[in-house]
Amino acid sequence: QVQLVESGGGLVQPGGSLSLSCAASGSIFSIYAMGWYRQAPGKQRELVATVTSGGSTNYADSVKGRFSISRDNAKNTVDLQMNSLKPEDTAVYYCYAESVYGVAYWGKGTLVTVSS
């Protein structure tokens, strides 16, 4: 089992920046990839960014050039640096982990609101 706890989130103005962090505990050795998904009101949950244990990254087209994901394997954390935020970035952001066995784990989510 893997437990994921998010921190960060909150209210930020358009064009501003915000950083999210996720700490993993439990069967850390089994984690293949970690990342972030988000779900806006009335929308389906969508991929934001992922990073593998080897350091390869994948970003949604909508956040490329604005968001940056990083992973610290020693501390078992993954961060999401969000810059140039837009109102359409408003969503609940969920930390995600995928095990080498194909099992997905989810955090409880943290709300990011981009508004003036």
Query: What tens-digit pLDDT sequence spans the chain (116 residues)?
Result: 999 999 999 999 999 999 999 999 998 888 999 999 999 999 999 999 999 988 999 999 999 999 999 998 788 899 999 999 999 999 999 999 999 999 999 999 999 999 99
CA angle 75, 48, 42 (to 5 degrees): 125
**Taking Cα atoms as reference points, which of 1, 8, 2 lies closest to residue 109?**
8
pLDDT at site 75: 84
Residue with tokens 């140039």, as numbered in its chain: 84
Contact 24, 2 (CB under 8 A): yes
pLDDT score, position 57: 97
